[in-house]
Amino acid sequence: MEASFTEGEFYQQHFDPRAYIDNFYSSPEGHADENFLIFVLDSLSKTFSAGRYKGQTLIEVGNGPTIHSVLSACEHFQEIVLSDFTDDSRQEVEKWLRNEEGAFNWKPVIQYVCHMEKRSPSEVEAKVRQRVKQVLKCDVRLENPFHPQTLKPADCVITCLCLEAACRDMLEYKKALAHITTLLRPAGVLVMVGVLEQSFYFVNQTRFSCLQLSKENIEAELQGLGFTIQELNFLPSPKPENNNVSDYKAIFHLVALKSDKK
């Protein structure tokens, strides 16, 4: 019998954020079985380092216990909002933002990004800590994911490895994508990182579900919401038959512009 889909409440009870970042983000190479973190860091650097996408506010939806996805972007946005469903993941991020003893060591990842971009790691750390203004609870299943708060529309929304883990079927995915795109101003930029054809992943011994997405699914849903895709890049799984932590077939990085019509 197929296991039931692991929704937000399961994450709240069973997701171990420190095990997750220890396993997948301790170095730029990521997990030995996954090997896609460098692709993600390189892709986000190319998206943001040119300075084409910039503005006042950036919102990341469902960043979990991580901060890697705003390292390149922090130079170009004055205010950053991070968010996640689970209390423990938000606390892990806040511990790093406050530079508390025992916080996760993001230095290897930060140094990798800074080496690419010829920036100072200490300055980037300071800038992220200064520009992240809020770490909020977020539920993409809600029409307003930040209910009861209402945020002003942002210039950029990032979401990485979130929607496919939060949505049990394509109807929920379509609704969640519509919900997060309402957080974006007209002509704003949406940056997504996700996995294709993945049905599960493990954090230590705990199995989490994933909605199996195709390239066509994602393109169709975004075009239906009035987005114009600027970039869509893929990295196939190098050795899916030997991967013990997930069954993803490829990871994607996408940049899309929202229609300028209100």
How would you classify the pairing of strands 206-209 and 200-203?
Answer: antiparallel
Tokens matching residue 181: 């795109």
Tell me if 20 is assigned to a ligand binding site. yes
Query: Which residues are CB-contacts of 121 (< 8 A; sequence separation ≥ 6)?
Result: 107, 110, 111, 114
Beta pairing partners, 201: 208, 246
- Say if CB 64 and CB 85 are below 8 A apart: no
Contacts of residue 260, Cβ cutoff 8 Å, sequence gap at least 6: 186, 187
Q: What angle do CA 161, 14, 22 make, to 5 degrees?
A: 60
Does residue 140 have a known ligand-binding role?
A: yes
Name the β-bridge partners of 206: 203
Q: What is the largest CA-CA distance in the chain?
A: 52
Is 84 annotated among the ligand-binding residues? yes
Q: Give the ranges where the chain is alpha helix by DSSP (H).
A: 8-14, 17-24, 37-49, 87-97, 107-117, 121-131, 163-166, 170-181, 215-224
Angle at 195 between CA 181 and CA 113, to 5 degrees: 85
Cβ neighbours of residue 220 under 8 Å, at least 6 residues apart?
none
Is 25 part of any known ligand binding site?
yes
Extract the annotated binding site: 20, 25, 84, 139-140
Extract the annotated binding site for S-adenosyl-L-methionine: 20, 25, 84, 139-140
